[in-house]
Structure 1
Amino acid sequence: MDTYTVNHGQPFPLGASVTDKGVNFAVTSEDATELLLCLFDEQDNEIERLPFIAKERGIWHMEVWGITENQRYGLRAKGPFDPSQQQLFNEHKLLIDPYAKALSEKLVWHADQAALTVEGDPHLTDSAYCVPKSIVKTVAPTSQRPARVKVKPSHRAIYELHVKGFSQQLPIDEALKGTYLGVISDPGIAHLRALGITTIQLMPCFSFANERHLQELNLKNYWGYNPISFFAVETSYAHQDAIAEFQAMVDGLRHAGFEVILDVVYNHTAESELNQSSVCYRGLDNAHYYRHADGEYLNYTGCGNCFDTYHSASIRLVCDSMRYWVEVMGVDGFRFDLGVDMGRTDHDFSPKAPLLQAILQDPILNNSCLVMEPWDIGPDGYQVGQFPRGFLECNDQYRDTIRRFWRGDEGLTPVFATRLMGSRDYFHKGRRSALHSVNYITYHDGYTLNDLVSYHRRHNLANMENNRDGHGDNISQNFGQEGPTDNADIQSKRLNQQLCFIATLLLSQGTPHFLGGDELSHSQQGNNNAYCQDNEITWLSWQESSAQNALQEAISSLMTIRKAYPILAEVYLEDDPLYQHLEPDHIEWLNQFSQPMSEHDWAESERDYLALTLTSADLSNRLWLVFYREDHPLNVPLPSNASTLDVLYQTPGMSIEKDTLVCEYRGVLLAKLV
């Protein structure tokens, strides 16, 4: 206290803020009896320990004169130690500031980070040597940031991208491979532009840690769904300066015409189970930051803990984090991992949960693109279609139905039609547009599109869990041989199936989502849970092939068509009150004779052919969509009142001969009828 002058300072903003005379620190810890600020030198030696001198509304604060930008620091909290009451205060544990914008290093799990021993007693070893230091950092928006790209909702198509996986094997400078800057390299931007997609969904870029069991197996958390900070940028994707380079990546993507959303994890943290790390939230206020009941953690995430997003401090933390990533780091929106936790109150889900309402009323956040993963593993954890308007939702019902249809499963005609039309059994008429349904065939957690048509069973031995992890039922097929093959017939069938999937996705009502690499025919060697594979299993290969060219051309062509005919993404239904102010479009479902579907047709369990016409309200366009999943030839007459037609897209097995559609084998066709 002789070295530094301390005064009360201010409770807001939270975190470390540079002032005219020093730095203001503000930290939430409702139950602590004393909070200490620990200052460190560049060699991570603790040089001073200052007690906070003011507390109001659960926020400890003070201003320290004589310190400046880039000062390293940590926190220590004193208070009751009673695990049965979820109180784990232990001043021997150095803690990261939840609002720190930068950390001195990546968090690595160590046994000495634990707040309690195996016996349940306080762990007395000082953890400062194995905990990253928070760094005082003033971060401002870039001065020449391009304006946000305004994406028309009916045009939106999302491309899920892992920073390292996308850029690690690009033909670029070695120093930029696997980095934020590598994503916006000339080859990276050129590839993304060629696809015609509108929105880049970045997989997690919060500072994250490896799980203890992965560390013990000498594996890494590759996906990044294990955050320790909601503000600090992951440094392993940076060449030099993670903050500046992340901002440059976002600016570069915007400049290239893309909307950028960030996959965020607000449902759990890397502190994991109660007896593991106490490096931040657990040591500051475990009873308030994590969900618990009857003295036990509630693990609704399957990741060891569950962030209590019903508590006011957590709501403020999440919203402050989101605003930081929008206003300062430049992103245009978010995809929320295990988003049901964000909609839980004490324990149950409610679309009126405080955090969801706080986001929707915020003028900055409400104007961003918000995509929800609408489930967790807690009670009533499946909530597809139940989030308030303002959130798009990942639709796994779409994924499973489309996979089953093209695999040839029986009894799917009505539900397949429902999925094509925007899953109105979940996204109900009068309440939400079909565009709220984020349709996808593949996501990061599962097979790639190539593997979906190449493997019957998962092949996850590389994860070192005896092939027990990952989904057991992938609704996949291998066309006669497991894994890679030189059989030209099998290769042709696999490529055609992928083209059918892509065409179905881009001709369905809703918002399409692509897994990055599917357009490159990327394979993970049958691994459907490659979260710990930081290697060529997950790194995209840029070796050109005929299959890649065909897949990329299909996406590019269909994206152009989809933008030219918005009715393909959102049809104005006559019986939907949501569109009562508009003239309705018209839909007609047709069988293989191009006659209206009868009740018998709809009930036919082995129906392999389904078609529909979409006619715009002003009669300017009449589109014919055909889906045929059998490999036996079928001839279909043109729909009535169609003297000619203009084929807009067709998979290889489809062709028009005079007044007949010839289906040689399974495929998709889109034509404009005249």
Structure 2
Amino acid sequence: MPEHVPSASAPVSPGLHVGQDGSGTFAVVAPRAQAVDLCIRRGRTETRHRLRRVDGPLHWDRVTGMTPGTEYGIRVYGRWDPEAGHFANPEMLLLDPYARGVSHASPLLTSMFPYEVDSMLEPVSAELAPSPFDSGPTAVWSVHLDGSFDWQEDRAPRTPWEDTVLYEAHVKGLTALHPRVPSAQRGTYAGLGHRAVTDHLRSLGVTAIELMPIHAAMDEPHLTRLGLTNYWGYSTLSFLAPNPALATAAAQRAGAQAVLDEVRTMVRSLHAAGIEVILDVVYNHTAEGGALGPSLSLRGLDAAEYYWLSEGSFLDVTGTGGTLDPRSVHVMDLILASLRYWAQEVHVDGFRFDLATALARDDGGFRADHPLLRAISTDPVLRGLKLIAEPWDVGSYGWRTGGFLPPFAEWNDAFRDGVRGYWLAQPRERERSGDPAIGGVRDLATRLAGSSDLFTRQDPSDLPAGRTLRSAWASVNYLTAHDGFTLADLTSYDDKHNEANGEDGRDGTEANRSWNHGHEGPVDPGTADGARIAAQRRRTRRSMLATLLLASGTPMITAGDELSRTQQGNNNAYCQDNEISWVDWSLAESEESCIATVRTLLALRREHPQLRTRAFPRPADPADLREDQVAWFGREGEELSHEDWFDPRRHVLQMLRPGPEHVLVVISGADRDLEVTLPAQPWPTGTPRIVLDTSREDGGTGSDPMSRPVRGKDGRQRLQVPARSVVVIVIGDTSGVEERLP
């Protein structure tokens, strides 16, 4: 309980800070509050203690008896004026923004709204009178935790950026259906740390898992009305506490400490397997939403301080109704405290910032040098971690791909769209229109070379020749992510099929750039047409994966794409906590060719350093070929002219990456088989050998004498390249490559 100490100085930071004896301080930032109570619950009994010290925006007091496992919360007294953004209502039991644990996972309840709502969570009156109902008995409470944990000499893998391969996954979705994970652990932190998962990731060549949000979360009102849940978790309740719903039932019963320990054990297991852990963090909005949301924490404390308000109205650049205010030093402090906590106390290796543009706005718009971004990038705890920005929000001028500064990497939507365009949108339009002049290779080459057009835009004009502020790894290349179609659905559906989401198809993007290959949805492989279409789809998927994994930059694979996982055409499965979203591991046998293709490509990437250089590749000098160079050729092995780059009839591109063993990537998006002439370049000693052919169901890995290039009468080597395929040729001493494949 609070203990009045008149001579004590204010604590350095908000939250609960106590020693082993349970004594210390508790503080909360609520500058507009008239008074604040610290509430402590033991069993079903709640006791309230007024925080008697006020220093500027900080309400605080000394506390005693706060032993590990103690549940506590906050009640705020002050102004009630929703139209001006003031929601103080002492009937609302609020979560400590700095709490390390929460009492339980809860659905959104009527008692959690600061004004009266009906059973459908709609206001009972337009006046929004304060609710007279106490939320304490049903609220989510903060829990004080013991910080100790046996890390067993845990060591961060610290994989260099240029060697990093990301794998985006959902904690529950990755193992909910995994047959090798014990049933009690499926869909949990413990399941994700199971050897069945780490073995799979290592066999692919993955070095880091990018986890969708694991912060404690709460469902939105409209999903609750529909009887759905926010499966993805982009609706944060607490920035420091892990989500209990993703823990085993045993850990949830044992309490918040057991939940946190399960998360730490997961991280420790992944580290032991050499796999880094990157958290997707949502600091741009919270589960409280906008003007008509619940009071769970920040809204009830001081909405005008924590949220971006304009004349009392919630500014929305996130698409959720509200936006946390990155101009506030207290919001910045909360975000930094959260990041440091997960890095220091949970040992995570990096963060992916959801809607990062929203975190870098001030009154004038986006700022690459925003104080929050500067604070993160210069923080001694954070600056050495992997930091990834989702470089957009839904506000004015929100799309900022390439606009962030070191040390941030960024999701590259231009890579996604360009590769989808080449392999899917363009052939779909050619098929429908009969016009062969729909295509071109200029954008594809730009994306394969690391998208320097985007990631060097912030470079000062006076940098030394050839120098760039950012490296090629700053481009996080991807074909799919959690939002949108899966890779299998990109090749199986022209249109979204989101009926299960309950919004009559209004949700989800229309810009899929997909192609169903002539039939919408599943086909019957027992028929001739069905077998043909299914084979075409598999080939396209293998070719797209080859494009992704051979490009300069940091590749990211979405969990299940290597298994051809489908969401049945749903491109916005955020509310589908079921088989639509979960990875179907039963596909592993039937989709072995796709898995083998990923393994082979990532092995090639490891074996050939020119495929993962830090620098953006520069034009090759035939007289002095180096690993940081790239050369481009057309179908006849010719160097491409300025006019060639703008020719929409070009569908073949050859990319040469020089090295001790040259790597030649022959890419044909053509709709028919073609003969391709290999470029006449000085080769190292050795015979050209095909190590990958995506037209083959087995991935074409290894050395097949029948598929080697044929030398013509003119001395040039020619190769039959099937339609819509990628062939990778290694020239040089390639002995032992197969033996080194995982």
Name 2:672's counterpart in structure 1: 632
Give the alignment partner of residue 395 of structure 1, picking from 400, 408, 412.
412
> Are 1:644 and 2:684 an aligned pair?
no
SS state of the match for residue 245, structure 2? helix
Q: 1:4 to 1:504 in 2, by over 3 A?
A: closer
Give the alignment partner of residue 614 of structure 1, picking from 651, 657, 676.
657
Q: 1:646 to 1:57 in 2, by over 3 A?
A: farther
SS state of the match for residue 631, structure 2? strand
Give the alignment partner of residue 455 of structure 2, picking from 393, 416, 427.
427
Q: Aligned partners of 2:616, 2:346: CA distance in 1, in Å?
A: 40
Q: Aligned partners of 1:126, 1:422: CA distance in 2, in Å?
A: 56
Matches within 5 A, 1:164-243: 164-171=172-179, 172-239=181-248, 240=251, 241-243=258-260
Structure 1 stretch displaced more, 136-145 or 64-73: 136-145
Matches within 5 A, 1:285-300: 285-300=302-317
Q: 1:544 to 1:463 in 2, by over 3 A?
A: closer
Name 2:84's counterpart in structure 1: 85
Structure 1 stretch displaced more, 147-156 or 222-231: 147-156
SS state of the match for residue 538, structure 1? coil
Matches within 5 A, 1:568-587: 568-570=611-613, 572=615, 585-587=628-630
Could you report, residue by residue, the CA deviation over 1:349-395 in whole angstroms, capped at 9, with x for unpaired residues? 10111110000110110010001100000111111111111000001
> Are 1:146 and 2:154 an aligned pair?
yes
Q: 1:508 to 1:286 in 2, by over 3 A?
A: same
Q: Is the 8 A contact 2:100 2:241 kept in 1?
A: yes
For 2:82, the aligned partner's letter is P
For 1:155, the aligned partner's letter is D
Q: TM-score, normalised by structure 1?
A: 0.94
Give the alignment partner of residue 348 of structure 1, picking from 342, 365, 390.
365
Structure 1 stretch displaced more, 632-641 or 19-28: 19-28
> How much does 1:408 deviate?
5.6
Q: Is the 8 A contact 1:154 1:563 kept in 2?
A: no
SS state of the match for residue 454, structure 1? coil
For 1:658, the aligned partner's letter is V
SS state of the match for residue 708, structure 2? strand
SS state of the match for residue 273, structure 1? coil
Could you report, residue by residue, the CA deviation over 1:382-413 in whole angstroms, capped at 9, with x for unpaired residues? 11111111000001111011001012622442
> Are 1:271 and 2:270 an aligned pair?
no
> Are 1:594 and 2:637 an aligned pair?
yes
Q: Is the 8 A contact 2:486 2:567 kept in 1?
A: yes
Name 1:414's counterpart in structure 2: 442
Structure 1 stretch displaced more, 460-469 or 409-418: 409-418
SS state of the match for residue 676, structure 2? strand
> How much does 1:18 deviate?
2.5
Q: Aligned partners of 1:651, 1:587: CA distance in 2, in Å?
A: 22
Equivalent pairs counted in the alignment come to 662
Q: 1:186 to 1:21 in 2, by over 3 A?
A: closer
> Are 1:548 and 2:618 an aligned pair?
no
For 2:231, the aligned partner's letter is Y
Q: 1:666 to 1:656 in 2, by over 3 A?
A: farther
Could you report, residue by residue, the CA deviation over 1:603-639 in whole angstroms, capped at 9, with x for unpaired residues? 21121101121224xxx34221111012312112222
Give the alignment partner of residue 450 of structure 1, picking from 473, 488, 495.
488
- Aligned-residue sequence identity (percent) comes to 37
Could you report, residue by residue, the CA deviation over 1:107-143 in whole angstroms, capped at 9, with x for unpaired residues? 4322332224531333332222231111122323543
Q: 1:450 to 1:505 in 2, by over 3 A?
A: same
Q: Aligned partners of 2:203, 2:614: CA distance in 1, in Å?
A: 27
Q: Aligned partners of 2:222, 2:486: CA distance in 1, in Å?
A: 25
Q: Aligned partners of 1:71, 1:571: CA distance in 2, in Å?
A: 49
For 1:395, the aligned partner's letter is N
Matches within 5 A, 1:528-543: 528-543=571-586
Name 1:306's counterpart in structure 2: 323
Could you report, residue by residue, the CA deviation over 1:32-53 in whole angstroms, capped at 9, with x for unpaired residues? 121111121223x32x211111
Q: 1:509 to 1:516 in 2, by over 3 A?
A: same
> How much does 1:416 deviate?
1.3
For 2:497, the aligned partner's letter is H
Name 1:656's counterpart in structure 2: 708
> How much does 1:438 deviate?
0.5
Name 1:71's counterpart in structure 2: 70
> How much does 1:544 deviate?
4.3
Structure 1 stretch displaced more, 184-193 or 253-262: 184-193
Q: Aligned partners of 2:617, 2:503: CA distance in 1, in Å?
A: 52
SS state of the match for residue 134, structure 2? coil
For 1:424, the aligned partner's letter is S
Structure 1 stretch displaced more, 204-213 or 594-603: 594-603
Q: Aligned partners of 2:149, 2:364: CA distance in 1, in Å?
A: 37
Q: Is the 8 A contact 1:267 1:342 kept in 2?
A: yes
Name 2:715's counterpart in structure 1: none
SS state of the match for residue 426, structure 1? helix
Q: Aligned partners of 2:533, 2:90: CA distance in 1, in Å?
A: 63
Structure 1 stretch displaced more, 441-450 or 268-277: 268-277
Name 2:164's counterpart in structure 1: 156
Q: Is the 8 A contact 1:5 1:66 kept in 2?
A: no
> How much does 1:294 deviate?
2.1
Q: Is the 8 A contact 2:151 2:268 kept in 1?
A: no
Q: Is the 8 A contact 2:164 2:208 kept in 1?
A: yes
Q: Is the 8 A contact 2:33 2:76 kept in 1?
A: yes
For structure 1, the 5+ residue unaligned runs are 577-581
Name 1:7's counterpart in structure 2: 5
Structure 1 stretch displaced more, 171-180 or 103-112: 103-112
Q: Aligned partners of 1:565, 1:59: CA distance in 2, in Å?
A: 56
Name 1:494's counterpart in structure 2: 537
The Cα RMSD (Å) is 2.0
> Are 1:244 and 2:261 an aligned pair?
yes
Q: TM-score, normalised by structure 2?
A: 0.86
> Are 1:510 and 2:583 an aligned pair?
no
Q: 1:468 to 1:605 in 2, by over 3 A?
A: same
> How much does 1:166 deviate?
0.6
